[in-house]
Amino acid sequence: MSKAMFGVLCDKLRLHISKAVTKDRLPVAVAVDMHVAVTIWRLATNIEYRTIIAEHFGLGILTVCTIICRTTSAITYYLLPLNVQMPSESRFRKIIQDFEALLAFPQVTGAIDGTHVPILKPTDCPSDCYNHKAFYSILMQAVVDSQGQFIDVNIGWPGKVHDARVLANSTFYNKASSGTLLPNWTRTINGVNVPLLILPIL
C-alpha cells in the first residue's frame, strides 16, 4: 500500500474511528493512523496479537484487539457500501459491452465465484471450518465486473459449507430471485429474448 493510499484510507475512516474512541473512552486514545496501520499489518500478515503486533506498535494486546475490531467494523459498515455496490445503468451497459468484447458472450453483467480464505484452527466447532481442500477457512463469495472490480461480496460462512448453500442464502441471490438485482433488459438473439445474466467462473 502506498503512503498516499494509506492517507486516503485514514481520511475516510477518521470520523468513524474518532467517534468510536470517544464513545469507548479507552485508557489509551490511539490516533486514527495507528488504528489503520495496526489493522493493515494484522490483515496483511495474519500474525498473532501476542507475538509481534503489540511489540511493533508499543501497544497492549487488549488495545490491539480493540483497535482491529473497531477499524474492521468501520471499514465494513462505512467503506464497503461505498466501494462495493451494483453499478448504475450506464455502467451496466459498459460492462455488458466489455464482457462481450472479452468473451464473445452477450448480456453478461458480472462473474461470480467463491474462494476459501485460510484461517487458524478455531477453538469452537473447528470441523465446521475444515474444508474439502484440507485446511481451515472462511468462505467468500464475490461478484466482479468486466474490470475485475467487486460489485458484491458475501463473507463469513465456514469453509465446510458448499458454495451453492452460500449463494442460496445470500442477499445477492434473493435479489436475483425477486427480479430486483439486474435491469430488465433483453436482447433478441436468433429469435430468443436473452436476459441479463451473471456467469460463474469455472
Q: Output the pLDDT for position 6.
A: 93
User: Given pLDDT bands bounded at 50, 70 and 90, which one contains residue 133?
Assistant: very high
Extents of the domains making up the chain: 3-82, 85-200
Q: What is the pLDDT of residues 33-78, one digit of tens each?
A: 989 999 998 888 877 776 667 778 888 888 888 888 899 999 999 9
Tell me the C-alpha distance between 21 and 68, whole Å: 12
- In this prediction, residue 199 carries a pLDDT of 93
Whole-angstrom distance, CA of residue 112 vs CA of residue 182: 14
The pLDDT of 10-38, averaged and rounded, is 76
Share of the chain above pLDDT 90, in %: 63
Amino acid at 141: Q
Does the pLDDT at position 27 exceed 50? Answer: no
Query: Per residue in 156-200, pLDDT tens?
Result: 999 999 999 999 999 999 999 998 999 999 999 999 999 999 999
pLDDT of 20 over the 90 cut: no
CA-CA distance, 10 to 32, in Å (whole number)? 6
Neighbours of 13 (CB within 10 A): 22
Please report the pLDDT score of residue 55 as a whole number.
76
Alpha helix locations (H) across the chain? 3-24, 32-45, 54-57, 61-74, 80-83, 89-103, 126-129, 163-168, 171-178
Q: What is the mean pLDDT of the chain?
A: 88
